[in-house]
Amino acid sequence: MTFDWSVIWTHRQALLEGAALTVGLTVLTMLLAVPGGIVLALMRLSSNKLLQSASLGFVEFFRNLPLILVIYWVFYVMPMAVDFQLSPLVTALVALVLNISAYNAETFRAGINSIRKGQLEAALAMGMSRRQAMFKVVIPQAGRRILPVIASTWVSLFKDTSLVSVIAVSELAYTAMQIRAQTFRVLEMLTAMAVLYWLMGYPQAKLVDWIHRKYGVKE
């Protein structure tokens, strides 16, 4: 068996562009899924039964479906249902945001519930509205507590972006597979893909470890 590692250097630009799209998709997804998770968590904690039920239904639906099925559903089924086709990249973003928002909702809900009720009652006693007390007192404290969990979700999301390759989004996994198909250099391209994912993922994992040590609740 002969190896041709030069194929990696020859296609370095495409691989780097794919890696950049992977990172960009991760960042954009989390930027949308964090506020989405907060809204869903507040709906679940609301006294309004309709909001509670809507949030619970959303979270349980998307949290218990495989992400790849959500991607396929948004790309193939939704256009048939509403007669509207999204681009592969937008489809990937929508599917990822729906999935991660459901997980973030439960993370935020747990974080908010971990704050002693006395904090909220004290804020209300000082004349704050319930909304002001929630956003100025409770959520900032909850945010610190859940930061390690959100960081772990980020790392999982970064790896899960590879699933959008099934709808031809040109992130790292899809780009590497396309080059493999064109050059027939299977081992070389799979190795290059693994190395790039590791080089990008390892610093993130170490950052998560640091966040756990610094912000993890030890009570």
Q: Which domain holds residue 182?
A: 11-215
Looking at the chain, the whole-number percentage of residues with pLDDT higher than 90 is 62
Q: Residue 130: inside a domain, yes or no?
A: yes
Q: Residue 2: inside a domain, yes or no?
A: no
What's the pLDDT band for 81 if we cut at 50, 70, 90? confident
Average of per-residue pLDDT across 183-188: 92
Q: Residue 1: inside a domain, yes or no?
A: no
Give CA separation, 206 vs 87, 98, 133, in Å.
34, 27, 34
Q: Residue 131: inside a domain, yes or no?
A: yes
pTM above 0.75, yes or no: yes
Q: Residue 4: inside a domain, yes or no?
A: no
**Whether residue 37 has pLDDT greater than 80:** yes
The number of folded domains in the chain is: 1
Which pLDDT value is given to residue 144?
80
Which pLDDT value is given to residue 85?
83
Dihedral through CA 197, CA 200, CA 206, CA 207, nearest 10? -130
Backbone angles phi, psi at 217, to 5 degrees: -75, 130
Q: Residue 3: inside a domain, yes or no?
A: no
Q: Residue 109: inside a domain, yes or no?
A: yes
Q: Residue 191: inside a domain, yes or no?
A: yes
CA 184 – CA 15 distance, rounded (Å): 16
Which pLDDT value is given to residue 1?
67
CATH number of 128's domain: 1.10.3720.10
**Whether residue 216 has pLDDT greater than 80:** no
* Chain position carrying tokens 């009652």: 121
**Whether residue 164 has pLDDT greater than 90:** yes
Which pLDDT value is given to residue 214?
77
